[in-house]
Amino acid sequence: MANERIVIALGGNAIQSGSATAEAQQQALNHTAKQLIEIIKQGYQVAITHGNGPQVGNILLQQIQSHSEQTPAMPLDTCGAMSQGMIGYWLENALYGQLHEAGLNNQVATVVTRVEVDPDDKAFQQPTKPIGPFYSENEAKKQMEKNDITFKEDAGRGWRRVVPSPQPLRILEHEVIKALMDKETIVISTGGGGIPVYSKNEQIIGVEAVIDKDFASEKLGELIQADKLVILTEVEHVYVNYQKPEQKVLEQVTTTELRRYAEEGQFAAGSMLPKIEAAITFVESKPGRKCMITSLSKAAEAVGENAGTVIQNE
């Protein structure tokens, strides 16, 4: 429906499809832009959020490997800002070509986005989010002795650094994003869940953490008064009893039903559960709001409630 405002949260497969080269990632984003243009052509005001896991991991690794007195490694929050600019630039270029081809004159802008968190969030006492490369146990312990960072063994594959994953409280740039969308600008923001920051003595301070991108996308949707949140992932639908003989597709589902399934343990903590929790929060934040969870290839149909899993209130 024209003039409806939507947030589209891109999954990692929208950016990277195997190869980490710039060319391969730009090619993946060109494919993504072709899918997104079908939504933009319908007249929606669109904000796009995205993941940055592999990209920020590579930037972090490059920083570590080149660290010296002359080229000191940058902290994680700064690496996150770098990844936002890089991915935003690629997606701007991809969308520009698609807009031109479709005869549309929308502008596209990337907003480097800071997300406020609570420095007393309990997540800071229990880092859980793995980032960066794998290390041997000896290498990990040397890193922990040398730096004030935490490593954990990761499913038999080696040791990885883990950082806190606090809850997003506020998107600092949400008024800017909203103003741009009011002028029909397509806004790319909140990359990788945003750059986690907190306020102290009227100063903004970055922290070494990673915010879940689905929770941050939900928060953005609330703050910019979005009508729909579209969460794109690798599967076309949400399922219960996933990959079991009694597997069931969820097409239209209420937040009450979805909460019950979540309490049954139907959704994996590291993958689908954050999407489900974000969907419930968004839909229940204001009457009439809906959330769609689907694959990139079905995004345009899902916005019209003709594909994917559509989540709504009773």
pLDDT digits (tens, 9 = 90+) for 107-165: 999 999 999 999 999 999 999 888 777 788 898 888 788 777 888 887 778 888 888 99
Q: 5-115+184-312, superfamily in CATH?
A: Acetylglutamate kinase-like (3.40.1160.10)
DSSP label of 107: -
Question: Is 1's pLDDT higher than 60?
Answer: no
% of the chain exceeding 70 in pLDDT: 99
Q: Cα dihedral sign for 71, 72, 77, 80?
A: positive
Question: Is 277's pLDDT higher than 60?
Answer: yes
* Residue among 51, 80, 213, 219 flagged as catalytic: 213
Average pLDDT, the chain: 92
Helix (H) or strand (E) holding 183: none
* Residue among 80, 129, 132, 178 flagged as catalytic: 129
% of the chain exceeding 90 in pLDDT: 74
More reliable by pLDDT, 2 or 102: 102
Please report the pLDDT score of residue 310 as a whole number. Answer: 97
Query: Model pTM?
Result: 0.92
Please report the pLDDT score of residue 116 as a whole number. Answer: 98
Instruction: Say how far apart CA 69 and CA 200 lie, in whole Å.
Output: 29
142 is catalytic: no
129 is catalytic: yes
Strand partners of residue 129: 163
298 is catalytic: no
- Structural domain boundaries in the chain: 5-115+184-312
* Residue among 228, 275, 290, 298 flagged as catalytic: 275
Rounded alpha-carbon distances, angstroms, from residue 68 to 71, 73, 75, 148, 258 = 5, 7, 14, 18, 50
Backbone angles phi, psi at 92, to 5 degrees: -55, -50
275 is catalytic: yes
Cβ atoms of 76 and 154 within 8 Å: the answer is no
* Residue among 13, 30, 93, 106 flagged as catalytic: 13
183 is catalytic: no
Q: Can you state the angle between helices 272-284 and 213-223, rounded to 10 degrees?
A: 10
The DSSP result for 121-156, as a single string, is: -GGGGS--EEEEEEE-HHHHHHHHHHSS-EEEE-TT
The whole-number average pLDDT for the span 203-209 is: 95
The DSSP result for 230-291, as a single string, is: EEEESSSSEEESTTSTT-EEESEEEHHHHHHHHHTT-S-TTTHHHHHHHHHHHHHTSTT-EE
